[in-house]
Each structure stands twice: as structure tokens, then as C-alpha cells.
Amino acid sequence: MHSDTLADMLIRLKNAAAVKKATVTVPATKMNFAVLNLLLKENYIASFEKDENSKFPTLIVKLKYVGGSSALAHVKKISKPGVRIYSKATELKRTLSGYGIKVVSTSHGLMTDADARKNKLGGEVLAELW
């Protein structure tokens, strides 16, 4: 078992998108579920569902492709178990001039950097995607 299941999930999504796979399985954790909900809301993935037939709790993610290329072009984990990165709402800069998102864990749950700035909430910057 990996100690950082979020990083494991992000790398699985990145690798699956690189080889143009239709679906990928990821570990089912509360954090992964919340991040996938955010990615679905932001149109980076097509859908996801819980795998009932698996021995371990897993989620099946259907990747989204636009014009033959993946909607997930870049995935980067920012805050890591050894080095946590926190940011105030005023310090959250736009990702790729607003075309990308940062996933921020705030006191009000997971949200994008744009939502965190709008709600004037800071928190741990988990990942960056575009």
C-alpha cells in the first residue's frame, strides 16, 4: 500500500492519459473520491464509479479525450508528505492564466484555486492540473 494514495492516483491518471487508455483503476479513498469529484466538475475526466467486483476498494475512472488528445495534459503533485505547501487566499496565483486548476484543501473541503480565492480561503495546495 502506498503512503500517498493521492500521488498514486494522479500518476495513474497521467500515465493512462499518455498511452490513451479509456479507463484506469485507482485506490478508493475519501481524498481520491473528493479529487475525482472536483475533476469531474471541472471536465477533466468523463466519469468515475466504485468497482464492486474488486478485492480491494477501487474506483474506475473513465478518461476524457478532446480531439484525440487527453483533457489532462499536465498533472503535478505540489504538497508532498515530507514537504507540505500551504498558501493564503491572496497568494494563490492562477494556473496557466486561468486555463488550469490547482486543487486546494481548505477548512471548507476541497476546491479549486479559483473557488478558494472567491471564498477568501487558504489551505494546502495538493496538485496542479491542466
pLDDT tens by residue, 100-130 = 999 999 999 999 999 999 999 999 999 999 9
pLDDT tens by residue, 52-77 = 999 999 999 999 999 999 999 999 99
pLDDT of 3 reads 87
Looking at every residue in the chain, the average pLDDT score rounds to: 96
CATH number of 75-129: 3.30.1490.10
Whole-model pTM? 0.94
- Per domain, the residue ranges of the chain are 5-70, 75-129
Give, as one character, the DSSP assignment of residue 10. Answer: H
User: Hey, how many other C-beta atoms are within 10 angstroms of the C-beta on 107?
Assistant: 7
Could you please state the CATH topology (level 3) that the domain comprising 5-70 is classified under.
Answer: Ribosomal Protein S8; Chain: A, domain 1 (3.30.1370)
pLDDT tens by residue, 9-33 = 999 999 999 999 999 999 999 999 9
Which helix H or strand E contains 103, and what residues bound it? strand 101-106
User: Three-state SS across 22-81?
Assistant: CEEEEECCHHHHHHHHHHHHCCCEEEEEEECCCCCCEEEEEECEECCEECCCCEEECCCC
